[in-house]
Structure 1
Amino acid sequence: MTSEWKREEVLRDARLAEWVDPLLSAANSGTVGSLVPDGYERYLRVLHPAEKTADDVVVESFQWADVARINGKIAHAEMQWTRISEKYPDLDRGLWNEGPHRIDFLQPEVTDEIAHLLGGDSNPRCVFAFWEGNTAFDEITSEFPKASIGRFNYYLTAGDVGRASQTLEGIRPNMWWPIDRSWYVCSNFDLDSTYIGADSARSDEIIVSRSLEAWPTRRSHRITICGDRFN
């Protein structure tokens, strides 16, 4: 299995994503519903970990709940990193020196674990959507059609769920879902959390995973800093 999507694997038909947009809340609502379609039994937020690194190697990962506890803050489903962390935590405490990463710099093990728990043993074929707004895609802009999801456009690929952390032109997918639409994953390019819609059984597996920090959420929950009402 290659670690990079080949350019010829980009789909020339964007209709596989047409179902998503009508089921999203307004793009400017700032809610989970603007990222994940309506109709799922449960919704989850997976928080990307903070890290302590040395010579670009991850030495230790920190869950947000631990960071909140260290800083005397309240851990909850809508907490925001800038509200629970101190301004210079690496200098003050020497614990983590990198805040939670957005999807393109997230450790692939996080995405791989989500893919494993959602896909199970069936290894379903999935659609992967990559935001067009990156200069890495300049050379393919006029060559492939794009799907409109929310306020943005995306290139699409399709393949086994195990390819969820693989890159296209060095960029990771922002959304992915199986052909049967039984679950949906959104790692917005501008956020430090991944949001998921799924059934109860799959959701429970993600919640109890020791490799992930996941919280039950709702489509009405805020994804912006103003959503953190307790910190």
Structure 2
Amino acid sequence: MDDYRLVDREPAPARYGRLEVRTADLGPADWLTERAPGHGDFGTVAGVAAPGFAAYARVLHPAALDERPVRWAAVAAARGLGTRPGADWHEVAGLDRDYHNACAYGLPGVWDEHPAEGPTPPAVAQALIPVLARHTRTPERCWFGLWNGYGRWDFDGIPSFPTPGRDEVLLAGPLAEAVSPVSLNEFAELPDLWWPQDRAWCLGGDVDLVSTYVGGSPALIAELLAAPELEAHPVSPGDKVG
């Protein structure tokens, strides 16, 4: 498991952006920690988001060309390939799994920057928020999980809750504030997990992934798949993540 803890870290903030850092009562996360064995294993869609939803989507983090977003489908098309829901970025870009052949970096005129690896990138989050808000009764009361291994802040003294492969600090606030951590600095990671009080859906990302996963109703997933600002594919809860 990756761990980006540094020797000299800043004290944990009382607010992560405009999200409250909870130092007591982690009860809102109990439903995530009490999943049955085999439901939401590490490395699966339901392990990154949460098990039990009727439908799931994989939202791809875009590559870039001159700092402009580039869809994976455009990269695949430039190489004469199609795309499939479970495709890994290295397959789409024509790289080996560890990017050892990345000396021919990018594809001229198509892409010159890999997709962001980690939790949901801010631009993708901004496109997700209005869609997610339409599919919950409680957009003003949401919960978030932030991996306590991100190295800029010292979360060692803050209570955390376990998810498959990670320990998360619990944050609270309106859905609209999910992107507010960038106010701390431009490199601040957004929360890995998002869910509303009514648990109508759950969004999950991870430090090692170039995709974000969402579980929810068929109507929500259909809207995500159709959103012009997003590149998304339907997936199943047991599918491997990437």
Pairwise TM-score range, normalised by the shorter structure: 0.7 to 0.9
Q: Give the CA deviation at 1:36.
A: 2.2
Structure 1 match to 2:167: 153
CA distance in 2, matches of 1:208, 1:41: 18
CA distance in 1, matches of 2:241, 2:19: 35
Q: Give the CA deviation at 1:199.
A: 0.6
Distance 1:194 1:105, change over 3 A: closer
CA distance in 2, matches of 1:8, 1:165: 9
Root mean square deviation, CA, Å: 2.3
Query: Which of 33, 37, 42 matches 2:55?
Result: 42
CA distance in 2, matches of 1:161, 1:175: 12
Query: Which of 20, 25, 41 matches 2:40?
Result: 25
Residues 23-66 of structure 1: per-residue CA shift (max 9 Å, x gap): 34222xx321221222211100000111012xxxx2x3211111
2:144–2:170: 8 Å Cα contact kept in structure 1? Answer: yes
Structure 2 match to 1:86: 94
Helix, strand or coil for the counterpart of 1:177?
Answer: strand
2:54–2:217: 8 Å Cα contact kept in structure 1? Answer: yes
Structure 2 match to 1:227: none
Helix, strand or coil for the counterpart of 2:153?
Answer: helix
- TM-score normalised according to structure 2 size: 0.79
Alignment pair present for 1:97 and 2:112: yes
Helix, strand or coil for the counterpart of 1:167?
Answer: helix
Helix, strand or coil for the counterpart of 1:148?
Answer: strand
Structure 1 match to 2:98: none
Distance 1:51 1:105, change over 3 A: farther
Structure 2 match to 1:214: 232
Structure 1 match to 2:79: 71
Q: Give the CA deviation at 1:94.
A: 3.2
The code of the aligned residue for 1:148 comes to: P
Structure 2 match to 1:126: 142
1:130–1:156: 8 Å Cα contact kept in structure 2? Answer: yes
Alignment pair present for 1:167 and 2:184: no
Structure 2 match to 1:109: 123
CA distance in 1, matches of 2:210, 2:230: 14
CA distance in 2, matches of 1:221, 1:150: 15
Instruction: Note the residue ranges of structure 2 that are not aligned, 5 or more in a row.
Output: 1-14, 96-101
The code of the aligned residue for 1:153 comes to: D
Alignment pair present for 1:62 and 2:62: no
CA distance in 1, matches of 2:40, 2:119: 25
1:15–1:147: 8 Å Cα contact kept in structure 2? Answer: no
The code of the aligned residue for 2:176 comes to: G
Structure 2 match to 1:228: none
Higher helix share: 1
The code of the aligned residue for 2:174 comes to: D
Moved more, 9-18 or 82-91: 82-91
Structure 1 match to 2:20: 9
Structure 2 match to 1:198: 216
Structure 1 match to 2:11: none
Instruction: Note the residue ranges of structure 1 that are not aligned, 5 or more in a row.
Output: 225-231
CA distance in 1, matches of 2:148, 2:94: 33
